[in-house]
Amino acid sequence: MPVFSRRSLAGFAAGLTTSRLAMAQSTALPSGTVRMVVPYNPGGITDILARGLSQPMTAMLGHTVVIENRAGANGSIGATLVARSPADGLTLLVGVTDTHAVNPAAMRNLPYVPERDFEPVNLITRVPLALAVGPSQRGIADLRGFLAAAKARPGALTHSSWGVGSTSQIAMLRLAEAAGVELLHVPFTGAAPAAQALAAGQVDSMIMPAGAAEALARDGNVRVLATLSPDRLTLMPDVPTLREQGVDLTTSIFQGIFAPARTPAPIIALLNRAVAQALQAPGMLEILRGQASLPESMSPQQLAALVQEDQEAWGRVVRNANIRLD
């Protein structure tokens, strides 16, 4: 994963000195370290993006930003930790579609309510997804072959995900619904082990972040059949979209920064600007390119609207499939 050298980080920090001082004059965070909570295990895309943000945000804020992985319960353990933290800007959540759109529909006893317990700060990106098959299905060359195999043996082809109720599982449910097929779900405890199982031939297929799919395909372990993006991705220009192949489905998963509810508006504004500028750091742009993603800074209000849209789109599938996580 790309990292900053001391020289590049020092240069980036120097370039931000004036802006950082202007921020400090208007609003100062309390003294202390900023915890950025990743509600998943290390190695997945949420963790990769958070670690990429932490270094330029440290330079921007003048506070050390550290990553804390708190995995479990489809991200709800880490999200609950942040929701119950002091509203002082020193504890942040990397919230995603799973934590803010899926869990409210899948968990009757969810310890938090996204719109009540969090202040949106800024979006990081919307991660494109891809459908891939592993070595257990070397005979499947394209989406048509995959769907034909699934229709010939309903419920026989397997797909992995990073957990029951995860966006990986639900995206495959959306594909199955749109294409009229049935697949067998095999959940894992994180994105990395789910992808490893696919590459090892332990499962037949997976919907995963496009960057991870491209990396596995480059190593010759999997074949990418389609992306779920509206248009072809620069990272994989030869891979057609689902729509190009006759399945009317596009979707992605958002990654954003959230603070506990009642965090003062000036601190939210400060953090919003820090994230926006950190997204433009050379190292962060390189990480995003490797994930087939683009930086997508937006206002807290726009992020709140995106969360609501995803709650409606993903929640419908969760309810229709009667997915329960408690």
CATH number for 182: 3.40.190.10
Q: Which of 202, 220, 245 is the last residue of a domain?
A: 245
Q: Which of 222, 245, 268 is the last residue of a domain?
A: 245
User: How much is the pTM?
Assistant: 0.88
Question: 6-15 vs 17-26: helix axis angle to the nearest 10?
Answer: 60
Whether residues 214 and 316 fall in one domain: no
298 close to 273: Cβ distance less than 8 angstroms = no
Q: What is the pLDDT of residue 10?
A: 46
CB atoms within 10 A of CB 243: 16
185: domain range? Answer: 128-245
Please report, as a single letter, which amino acid is at residue 128.
P
Q: Cα separation of 242 and 312, whole Å?
A: 22
Structural domain includes residue 1: no
Q: Cα separation of 109 and 112, whole Å?
A: 9
Whether residues 239 and 156 fall in one domain: yes
Structural domain includes residue 302: yes
Whether residues 67 and 28 fall in one domain: yes
Structural domain includes residue 149: yes
Q: Cα separation of 93 and 68, whole Å?
A: 10
Domain count, the chain: 2
Whether residues 199 and 163 fall in one domain: yes
Please report, as a single letter, which amino acid is at residue 158.
T
Q: Cα separation of 156 and 151, whole Å?
A: 9
Q: What is the pLDDT of residue 326?
A: 82
Whether residues 220 and 279 fall in one domain: no
Map residue 187 onto helix, strand or coil. Answer: strand
Q: Read off the DSSP letter of residue 101.
A: I
Q: Which of 220, 245, 270 is the last residue of a domain?
A: 245
For position 18, which CATH number holds? 3.40.190.150
pLDDT values of the chain reduced to their tens digit, one per residue, 326 residues:
333 344 444 444 445 444 554 444 345 799 999 999 999 999 889 999 999 999 999 999 999 999 999 999 999 999 999 999 999 999 999 999 999 999 999 999 999 999 999 999 999 999 999 999 999 999 999 999 999 999 999 999 999 999 999 999 999 999 999 999 999 999 998 888 999 999 999 999 999 999 999 999 998 989 999 999 999 999 999 999 999 999 999 999 999 999 999 999 999 999 999 999 999 999 999 999 999 999 999 999 999 999 999 999 999 999 999 999 98
289 close to 311: Cβ distance less than 8 angstroms = no
Question: Rounded to the nearest 10 degrees, how much is the dihedral formed by the CA atoms of 248, 165, 110, 297?
Answer: -50
